Structure 1
Amino acid sequence: MKLKKIIFFLGCLCSGTLLYAQDQERPNILFIAFDDLRPQIGAYGEPEPLTPNIDALANQAVQFNRAYVNYPLCSPSRAAMMTGVRFNNKTWIDGKKFKFQEQIQVQKTWPNQLRSNGYWTATSGKIYHGNVPTSEKESWDIPGKYWKGKYHDGGEKIESKIVEIGGRADQIKTYYEKDSGPASLMYAAVDGPDELLNDGKTARDVISFIKEKRDKSKPFMISCGFARPHMPWVAPKKYFDMYPQDAGKLAYVPKNADRDLTKDPYQGRKGSEIWNEGVDDETAQKLIRGYMASTTYADAQMGRVIQALKEEGLYDNTIIVVWGDHGYHLTDHGKWRKNTGYHVALRCPLIIKLPHSKEGKQVENIVQNIDIYPTIMELAGVTLPEEIKLHGNSLVPLLTQKNPKWENITFTCAKDSYGVVTDRYRFTITPDGKRYLYDLKKDPHEWENLAKDKKYKQLMAEYEEKMKSVVWNKPAASL
Structure 2
Amino acid sequence: MRKKYLLLYICLLVTFCHGNAQSKQKKKPNILFICVDDLRRELGVYGSEVITPNIDGLAADGSLFLNHYAQVPTSGASRACMLTGCLPKNKSDLSNEACKIRLSDREEGDEPETLFHQLKRNGYYTVGIGKISHYADGYLYGYSKPKSCKLELPYSWNEMLFDAGKWETGWNAFFGYSDGSNRQNRNREVKPYECADVPDDGYPDGLTANLAVNKLKELLNKKQPFCLAVGFFKPHLPFTAPKKYWDMYDEKKLLLSPTPDLPSGCSKLGFHNSDEFNGYLLGEEKASLDKRMSDVYARKLRHAYYACISYVDAQIGKLLNVLKDTGEFDNTIIVLWGDHGWHLGDHRIWGKHTLYETALGSALIIKAPMMKKGVRNERIVSSIDIYPTLLDLCGVQHPKGLDGHSLTELLSDPEKASWKDVSYSYFNNGVSVRVPQYRLIQFWNGNDSVLELYRYKKDLFERKNMNEDKIVKSILPILRKGFINTAF
**TM-score normalised over the length of structure 1:** 0.82
SS in 2 for 1:246: helix
Counterpart of 2:58 in structure 1 is: 57
One-letter amino acid of the structure 2 residue matched with residue 54 of structure 1: I
CA 1:347–1:176: 2 relative to 1, 3 Å: closer
Displacement of 1:215 in angstroms is 6.0
Would the aligned equivalents of 1:341 and 1:413 in 2 still touch at CA under 8 Å? yes
CA–CA distance in 1 between the matches of 2:369 and 2:383? 21
Would the aligned equivalents of 1:61 and 1:351 in 2 still touch at CA under 8 Å? yes
Would the aligned equivalents of 2:260 and 2:347 in 1 still touch at CA under 8 Å? no
Displacement of 1:335 in angstroms is 0.5
SS in 2 for 1:362: strand
CA–CA distance in 2 between the matches of 1:255 and 1:266? 11
SS in 2 for 1:158: coil
Which of 24, 27, 30 is equivalent to 1:28? 30
Counterpart of 2:83 in structure 1 is: 82
CA–CA distance in 2 between the matches of 1:273 and 1:287? 12
Displacement of 1:472 in angstroms is 6.4
Alignment of 1:102-141 (within 5 A): 102-104=101-103, 108-130=113-135, 131-133=137-139, 134=151, 136-141=153-158
Displacement of 1:179 in angstroms is 4.8
One-letter amino acid of the structure 1 residue matched with residue 185 of structure 2: K
TM-superposition CA deviations, 1:190-221 (whole Å, max 9, x none): 11110111111111111111112566111110
Which of 395, 398, 414 is equivalent to 2:427? 414
Displacement of 1:139 in angstroms is 2.0
SS in 2 for 1:113: helix
Counterpart of 1:466 in structure 2 is: 481
Q: Quick check: 373-382 or 183-192, which moved more?
A: 183-192
Would the aligned equivalents of 1:123 and 1:206 in 2 still touch at CA under 8 Å? no
Which of 216, 238, 252 is equivalent to 1:232? 238
Which of 415, 438, 442 is equivalent to 2:458? 442
Would the aligned equivalents of 1:189 and 1:235 in 2 still touch at CA under 8 Å? yes
Counterpart of 2:47 in structure 1 is: 45
TM-superposition CA deviations, 1:295-330 (whole Å, max 9, x none): 000000000010011122211110000100001100
CA–CA distance in 2 between the matches of 1:187 and 1:456? 43
Counterpart of 1:9 in structure 2 is: none
CA–CA distance in 1 between the matches of 2:89 and 2:232? 24
CA–CA distance in 2 between the matches of 1:413 and 1:33? 21
One-letter amino acid of the structure 2 residue matched with residue 237 of structure 1: K
SS in 1 for 2:237: coil
Would the aligned equivalents of 2:205 and 2:232 in 1 still touch at CA under 8 Å? yes
Would the aligned equivalents of 1:88 and 1:413 in 2 still touch at CA under 8 Å? no
Structure 2 residue 173 is matched with structure 1 residue 152: yes
Structure 2 residue 456 is matched with structure 1 residue 424: no
Would the aligned equivalents of 2:453 and 2:472 in 1 still touch at CA under 8 Å? no
Counterpart of 2:192 in structure 1 is: 186
Counterpart of 2:142 in structure 1 is: none
Would the aligned equivalents of 2:260 and 2:292 in 1 still touch at CA under 8 Å? no
SS in 1 for 2:362: strand
Would the aligned equivalents of 1:42 and 1:49 in 2 still touch at CA under 8 Å? yes
CA RMSD of aligned residues (A): 3.1
Counterpart of 1:143 in structure 2 is: 160
CA 1:209–1:186: 2 relative to 1, 3 Å: same
Alignment of 1:262-301 (within 5 A): 263=268, 265-267=270-272, 270=275, 274-275=288-289, 279-301=293-315
Would the aligned equivalents of 1:378 and 1:394 in 2 still touch at CA under 8 Å? yes
CA 1:263–1:154: 2 relative to 1, 3 Å: closer
Counterpart of 1:395 in structure 2 is: 407
CA 1:339–1:298: 2 relative to 1, 3 Å: same
Displacement of 1:434 in angstroms is 0.9
Counterpart of 2:250 in structure 1 is: 244
Q: Quick check: 408-417 or 31-40, which moved more?
A: 408-417
CA–CA distance in 2 between the matches of 1:196 and 1:254? 34
CA–CA distance in 2 between the matches of 1:326 and 1:406? 22
SS in 2 for 1:30: strand
Would the aligned equivalents of 2:44 and 2:50 in 1 still touch at CA under 8 Å? yes
Displacement of 1:87 in angstroms is 2.1
SS in 2 for 1:359: coil
CA 1:135–1:91: 2 relative to 1, 3 Å: closer
One-letter amino acid of the structure 2 residue matched with residue 122 of structure 1: V
**Identity over aligned pairs, percent:** 35
CA 1:381–1:154: 2 relative to 1, 3 Å: closer
CA 1:226–1:438: 2 relative to 1, 3 Å: same
TM-superposition CA deviations, 1:214-268 (whole Å, max 9, x none): 6611111001111010011100000000101314322124889779x99453226
Counterpart of 2:227 in structure 1 is: 221
Displacement of 1:136 in angstroms is 2.2
TM-superposition CA deviations, 1:364-401 (whole Å, max 9, x none): 1110000000001111111134xx31011010110123
SS in 1 for 2:230: strand
One-letter amino acid of the structure 2 residue matched with residue 140 of structure 1: W
Would the aligned equivalents of 2:454 and 2:462 in 1 still touch at CA under 8 Å? yes
CA 1:180–1:224: 2 relative to 1, 3 Å: farther
Gaps of 5+ in 2: 1-19, 107-111, 140-150, 279-285
Displacement of 1:60 in angstroms is 0.9
Larger Rg, first or second structure (1 or 2):
2
Q: Quick check: 126-135 or 149-158, which moved more?
A: 149-158
Counterpart of 1:6 in structure 2 is: none
Would the aligned equivalents of 2:263 and 2:462 in 1 still touch at CA under 8 Å? no
CA 1:266–1:301: 2 relative to 1, 3 Å: same
Would the aligned equivalents of 1:266 and 1:415 in 2 still touch at CA under 8 Å? no
CA 1:240–1:276: 2 relative to 1, 3 Å: farther
SS in 1 for 2:363: strand
CA–CA distance in 2 between the matches of 1:332 and 1:118? 45
One-letter amino acid of the structure 2 residue matched with residue 415 of structure 1: N
Counterpart of 1:14 in structure 2 is: none
Would the aligned equivalents of 1:428 and 1:435 in 2 still touch at CA under 8 Å? yes
Would the aligned equivalents of 2:261 and 2:347 in 1 still touch at CA under 8 Å? no
Displacement of 1:100 in angstroms is 3.1
Would the aligned equivalents of 2:77 and 2:97 in 1 still touch at CA under 8 Å? no
One-letter amino acid of the structure 1 residue matched with residue 478 of structure 2: Y
Counterpart of 1:206 in structure 2 is: 212
One-letter amino acid of the structure 1 residue matched with residue 50 of structure 2: P
CA–CA distance in 2 between the matches of 1:230 and 1:357? 32
CA 1:50–1:115: 2 relative to 1, 3 Å: same
**TM-score normalised over the length of structure 2:** 0.81
Q: Quick check: 269-278 or 117-126, which moved more?
A: 269-278
Counterpart of 2:17 in structure 1 is: none
TM-superposition CA deviations, 1:130-186 (whole Å, max 9, x none): 2325252432221113855323266686269xxxxxxxxxxxxxx6663595x9762
Which of 325, 331, 335 is equivalent to 1:317? 331
